[in-house]
Structure 1
Amino acid sequence: MDQAFLVGDLTRAKPSSADAIMRTAPSMLSLALGGVLFWGAPASAQVMDRDIGSAPSLLVSRPLPSHDAYKTWVPPFSQPEAVAPNPVSKWLRRRGINFLLDNTNEFAGAITPPTRGTTPGFSNYKQGASNAGQYAVQLDVDWDKLVGWRGFATHMVTVGRYGTTANRMFGDWLNHASEDYGGGGNVVVHLVYAYGEETLLGGRLAIAAGRMAEISDFAASPLFCNFQNGSFCGRPKGITDTNFAAGYPASTWGFRVRGRPARSIYVQTGLYPIENGIYQVYQHRTGFKFNGANIIGYTAPIETAWEPVFRHNTLPGHYKFGAQLFSTQQSDNYFDVNDESYGLTGHKQKQHGASWSTWAMFDQRLLHYHDKESGLTALAGAIYNDPRTSLRHYLVYGALLNRGYFRTRPYDTLGFAITYTKIADGVSLTEQNMIDRGARRGLPNHATGVQHNTIVMEANYAIHVMRGVIFTPLFEYYIHPNAQSNLRNAALLGFKSHIQIM
């Protein structure tokens, strides 16, 4: 999850009257709610795809404005709906300083009992509930307004995370029931990212460098966190399968360049050092470790997308394709140094000098209802990883988001998502070999049986309660937790809340 512009971005067009503003704001917000945000007028409601974590992916999801200007300027910062309007924030924004504060809380409780048994690992399983969450601070500075540096802005996000996640209580270590668990270092302030970006040629070229979360820009969508479960929210979990691709709330030093040769097409690439242990507290507890002593290689992603808007700007879509190459050594998931099964021999795993992953992701609003900001949006995609080194060989997902179906509830959203994860064959064979030779303890990936595949589903209804407050009751269902058929399916009830404080 991550990013730089929330609901309510300033438009560069200036309506001639207050009535014009009232007419323009809803139509501009409509584009944002479909997964694409133009240079729209301030909106009147907060939605879950506009939290602090979604800012970079929102910027990726914006086609060029319709005018053909090449003027260098900083894309406008967000003005999200907050619980209480803050005159200090307005004063700072007029001077190029954007300060945001929010809280996201996620609760999940199992309504089914876990698998019981005497096998090592099973004895700790229990039926229970958990709560996890984060408070986040975002600081954007428009240096054009502040000191006259044309087109340059800096972005920084810090978080504090708390709580735990329920999925481990029934044996799942692949997909968190609460996505906001983990990665924050269990500290008061954890740095997510801090980088500068120069925007040139009217948005046709953007160059960024600093401490960056790669998967906030690549394989990203603000729509993912309309859901809570970790197989989907933030990003489909398969894209960070190696733990070498930095995703929110982890970051590394990085460089990224994005070009838009046409209004609805972009191409972007970058170079990011691979820092060992970026999701572990022993290396990145606070996120402020900058010396690079743990750099072990580099990852180079590339992505292109078509971002059309059909039927008079009411049906936006995104169709993106990408890949990344990891230069660091990674262990084979089956062979040892002698090209035999390391699960049988116990010898060291074979090493590969490089690995890769690929993705295809799509979202398209299919229809809209009473207002342009309402409608039915479909999402689908697939992630395919190097079968020699991956845990998740591939992941496919699909989702539906139905916003504003009821005229009296224009910002409420009904959502359904499903992900299917296939474990790499080498992992499954290794675990079977280890079990065959009697080694049930110490299986890879906290497994208590052979891992093959898993499905995670979620249904929810996001309620816009009041200014800056969203409450989302939800249901999650795990088929084959931890990709193991020997674990009982798990059902959970819970809720996700989001409060935009300022």
Structure 2
Amino acid sequence: MWGGLSAAVFLLLGHSAFAETPSDPPAPEGRTASDQTTGETDPAPLSAGAAELLPKASAYEDLAGNLSAPPSLFPFLNDSHGWLRRHGTIMQFDNMNEMMGAVTAPTPGHGYKQGASNAGQYAVNIVTDWNRLAHLQGFATHVVFIGRYGTTANRMFGDWLAHSQETYGGGGNVVVHLVMAYGEQHLFQNRLAIAAGRMSQLSDFASGSVFCTFVNNSFCGRPKGASDSAYYSSYPASVWALRVRGRPWRRDVYVEAGVYFAEEGIYATAQHRTGFRLNGANIVGQIFPVEIGWQPTFRRPSGELAYPGHYKLGVAVETMARSENFLDTLGNPYADSGYSAARHSGSWSTWLMMDQRIKGSRINPQGGVTLMGGVVLNEPRTALRDRQIYLGATWKGFWAARPSDTIGLAVSYVHIAKGVQRTERILLAAGKTLPYRATGLQTHQEVAELNYTFALGRAVTFEPDIQYYHNPNGQVNLRDAVMMGFKSHIEIF
């Protein structure tokens, strides 16, 4: 794949269907989160693309001839013989909408309420093969614009850790928001790809194509724990970046590394409301992620059914200083001393992720039962979530009359860093305001989701969804919450 531009292209073009949802990055450690209003969301077009096997170079001598768009309401725009395709371009426009509401009543006494809300986005994705336009073989550009609307319902009952609607946040409340704009050059018969421009770190690293079978931000785009740092750019936020991905040994193993120039306030509207503030004036340091992945395809002896899998291990290291979540500059608890929290350089995040199809489907060659699971660990001195563990399963192609229908079930466990817990205990005893919008001690949270996705015609999908929150916001003092709703996706062209 990843030398395979068409696979990356297809996943990019269909990215809103696989989009991940935004969620608010944590507030600066040791402070309240009252000024945080945005979130992070990401369809992970590149990481998902990296999950595909490397095709033979000959298949991409004419990229434009191999570009493919998903089925749409108005397919003429991207017709294989149309004007856009003849000029090496595909342009996709789609809409995703998510409605969720709480079935259960919230905890009284905190101003919370039982209610529902709607959130969604429309997206324009453009991929251009410059071999067709300027004879630049192996070079393509990717540009993504979105507009977002609505809000997420989980905040109504006091949760700020896992947005019930992954499409919420980060869009700046403007008609057009620039998500990404970058070029990618493929070399050495597609064994090496170099990308540079405005890019989202968590679209390239710690991401995948199975996550956005789900709606909750605990899973969609990437496990939420992987985006615990407010400096990690996650769809729809982007920064200046360079990423190199290669397959030096074999076609089903890739290694990728990059440098992402972290900016202050990438989810805030002051500098990044439209996404077009490109001067880099807020750059405060660099993030260096590295990931190695294996994508085996196991087959039955008959060769009829294939069982693809994706396994990845990665780490990201930051150069900028971040506030510690417990100690001050003198080594004492800052919640007690009144001094500023100490600054810690070299924060890190690491992840181990997998998904594997374990059962095929004779009804749908692309279907079957797929298991996913993984662990995310974060630097405990600066993190809000110091670890996350998640498990899930999807089942597609189980009903002959509806071969594309899919059932999804996933569970996430998030642990709050010990330093955050110790700080909050001190603040609670003193009757002071807690960080992270907490109204009680934060310890751990579990989120479970069950959904069913089915098609309405060739370009519309509908997904009824149930979510369960144990310890909303990681707080044992808040009642568990049950939410019900749906996600719809329309591929317009």
Normalising by structure 1, report the TM-score: 0.88
2:93 to 87, 98, 101: 101
2:47 to 39, 57, 82: 57
Q: Conserved in 1, the CA contact under 8 Å of 2:16 and 2:94?
A: no
Determine whether 1:309 maps to 2:297.
yes
Residues 4 and 412 (structure 1), Cα distance of their counterparts in 2 relative to 1, 3 Å cut: farther
Q: Which residue of 1 aligns with 2:232?
A: 245
Q: Conserved in 1, the CA contact under 8 Å of 2:63 and 2:88?
A: no
Q: Conserved in 1, the CA contact under 8 Å of 2:391 and 2:410?
A: yes
Residues 421 and 50 (structure 1), Cα distance of their counterparts in 2 relative to 1, 3 Å cut: closer
Could you tell me how far apart the structure 1 residues matched to 2:59 and 2:120 are? Answer: 42
Determine whether 1:436 maps to 2:429.
yes
What SS does structure 2 have at the residue aligned with 1:319? strand
2:276 to 259, 280, 288: 288
1:368 to 343, 360, 363: 360
**1:36-61 CA distance string (max 9 Å, x none):** x6999xxxx99944899343233211
Alpha-carbon distance, 1:78 to partner: 3.1
Could you tell me how far apart the structure 1 residues matched to 2:77 and 2:159 are? Answer: 46
Alpha-carbon distance, 1:84 to partner: 2.8
Q: Conserved in 1, the CA contact under 8 Å of 2:225 and 2:376?
A: yes
Alpha-carbon distance, 1:465 to partner: 1.3
Could you tell me how far apart the structure 1 residues matched to 2:9 and 2:95 are? Answer: 26
Residues 226 and 434 (structure 1), Cα distance of their counterparts in 2 relative to 1, 3 Å cut: same
Could you tell me how far apart the structure 2 residues matched to 1:190 and 1:167 are? Answer: 24
Determine whether 1:469 maps to 2:460.
yes
Paired AA for residue 406 in structure 1: W
Q: Which residue of 1 aligns with 2:70?
A: 80
What SS does structure 2 have at the residue aligned with 1:210? strand
**1:248-290 CA distance string (max 9 Å, x none):** 0000000000001211000000101010011111121000011
Paired AA for residue 212 in structure 2: C
What SS does structure 1 have at the residue aligned with 2:466? strand
Determine whether 1:190 maps to 2:160.
no
Q: Conserved in 2, the CA contact under 8 Å of 1:307 and 1:318?
A: yes
Paired AA for residue 395 in structure 2: N
Alpha-carbon distance, 1:338 to partner: 1.2
1:480 to 466, 471, 477: 471
**1:192-250 CA distance string (max 9 Å, x none):** 00000001122200000000011101111011111111111121111110111101000
Residues 68 and 155 (structure 1), Cα distance of their counterparts in 2 relative to 1, 3 Å cut: closer
**1:66-96 CA distance string (max 9 Å, x none):** x475986648433111023225654112320
Residues 38 and 301 (structure 1), Cα distance of their counterparts in 2 relative to 1, 3 Å cut: closer
Q: Which residue of 2 aligns with 1:274?
A: 262
Q: Which residue of 1 aligns with 2:405?
A: 412
Paired AA for residue 407 in structure 2: L
Alpha-carbon distance, 1:411 to partner: 0.8
2:447 to 440, 446, 456: 456
Q: Conserved in 2, the CA contact under 8 Å of 1:331 and 1:351?
A: yes
What SS does structure 2 have at the residue aligned with 1:343? helix
In structure 1, the gaps of 5 or more residues are 11-36
Determine whether 1:112 maps to 2:99.
no
Q: Which residue of 2 aligns with 1:28?
A: none
1:106-185 aligned within 5 A: 106-117=98-109, 122-123=110-111, 125-185=112-172
Could you tell me how far apart the structure 2 residues matched to 1:138 and 1:146 are? Answer: 18
Residues 39 and 88 (structure 1), Cα distance of their counterparts in 2 relative to 1, 3 Å cut: closer
The count of aligned residue pairs is: 460
Q: Conserved in 2, the CA contact under 8 Å of 1:103 and 1:500?
A: yes
Paired AA for residue 162 in structure 1: Y
Q: Conserved in 1, the CA contact under 8 Å of 2:69 and 2:78?
A: no
Alpha-carbon distance, 1:137 to partner: 0.2
Residues 360 and 46 (structure 1), Cα distance of their counterparts in 2 relative to 1, 3 Å cut: closer
Paired AA for residue 288 in structure 2: A
Q: Conserved in 2, the CA contact under 8 Å of 1:317 and 1:363?
A: yes
Paired AA for residue 396 in structure 1: I
Could you tell me how far apart the structure 1 residues matched to 2:184 and 2:77 are? Answer: 27
What SS does structure 2 have at the residue aligned with 1:363? strand
Residues 260 and 450 (structure 1), Cα distance of their counterparts in 2 relative to 1, 3 Å cut: same
Alpha-carbon distance, 1:146 to partner: 1.4
What SS does structure 2 have at the residue aligned with 1:298? strand
Q: Which residue of 1 aligns with 2:197?
A: 210
In structure 2, the gaps of 5 or more residues are 21-41
What SS does structure 2 have at the residue aligned with 1:126? coil
Q: Conserved in 2, the CA contact under 8 Å of 1:46 and 1:80?
A: no
Residues 70 and 95 (structure 1), Cα distance of their counterparts in 2 relative to 1, 3 Å cut: closer
Residues 429 and 353 (structure 1), Cα distance of their counterparts in 2 relative to 1, 3 Å cut: same
Q: Conserved in 1, the CA contact under 8 Å of 2:185 and 2:193?
A: yes
Normalising by structure 2, report the TM-score: 0.89
Q: Which residue of 2 aligns with 1:424?
A: 417
Alpha-carbon distance, 1:161 to partner: 0.2
Paired AA for residue 146 in structure 1: L
Determine whether 1:446 maps to 2:440.
no
Alpha-carbon distance, 1:326 to partner: 0.6
What SS does structure 1 have at the residue aligned with 2:335? helix
**1:435-489 CA distance string (max 9 Å, x none):** 11121x2x11000011000001110000111111000001001000000000000
Q: Conserved in 2, the CA contact under 8 Å of 1:4 and 1:58?
A: no
What SS does structure 1 have at the residue aligned with 2:428? helix
1:494 to 485, 489, 492: 485
**1:403-447 CA distance string (max 9 Å, x none):** 0111111111000011100000000110001111121x2x11000
